[in-house]
Amino acid sequence: MLNITIICLGKLKEKYWAQAEAEYLKRLTPYCKVNFVELKEESFDDKSNPEIIKQKEADKIKNALSKFKDAYLIALDGNGKQFTSLQLAKQFNNLTIKQFNHFVFIIGGPLGLDPSILKLTNLQLSLSQLTFPHQMVRTILLEQIYRAMMINNNRQYHY
């Protein structure tokens, strides 16, 4: 079975995001096992240096990544590669054929990911040219993973 780990900074605070996430996790159960690694966000204000904040968060992410040596690493980044849903499904299918059975997605905090994290990954993925709150990205990512599973399993969901 495919394993998916989503490393993210911060926890879901709003009940509605948690409910949406729970729905997609339930739907994904027959196709893959999804785990979250929630890391503590660095607090910052207008006077904080964003690069220092991202470096501190990068250290936490690198520590978490040390447990996933054989995984295919995917960073969510606004400048990353964009796919259609069909292309993303094909990408997952191609990677699983190449013997990857574990994908690790990395979602940064409000300031994004430090460049040192992007260098560690196999793919930088952009979900859209639009900017979303990082809590919303979790749900969008799960929905796209679910959509890819439906496409790859010839199930009716994507029209």
Segments of the chain scoring below 70 in pLDDT? 158-159
Q: Whole-model pTM?
A: 0.95
> What DSSP letter does each residue of 120-143 carry, written as one string?
H-SEEE-S-SS---HHHHHHHHHH
pLDDT tens column, 54-77? 999 999 999 999 999 999 999 999
Residue 159, pLDDT score: 64
Residue 157, pLDDT score: 81
Kindly give, in sequence order, each residue whose CB lies less than 8 Å from that of residue 114, ignoring residues fewer than 6 positions away: 51, 54, 55, 57, 58, 108
User: Can you read off the two tokens belonging to residue 127?
Assistant: 């979900």
All domains in the chain, ordered by first residue = 2-152 (3.40.1280.10)
Residue 156, pLDDT score: 87
Residue 71 DSSP code: S
Note whether 135 and 17 are within 8 A (CB): yes
Residue 134, pLDDT score: 85
> CA nearest 102: which of 59, 72, 80, 60?
72
Residue 102, pLDDT score: 97
Question: Phi, psi at residue 9, to the nearest 5°?
Answer: -95, 125
Residue 15, pLDDT score: 96
> CA nearest 109: which of 77, 134, 84?
134
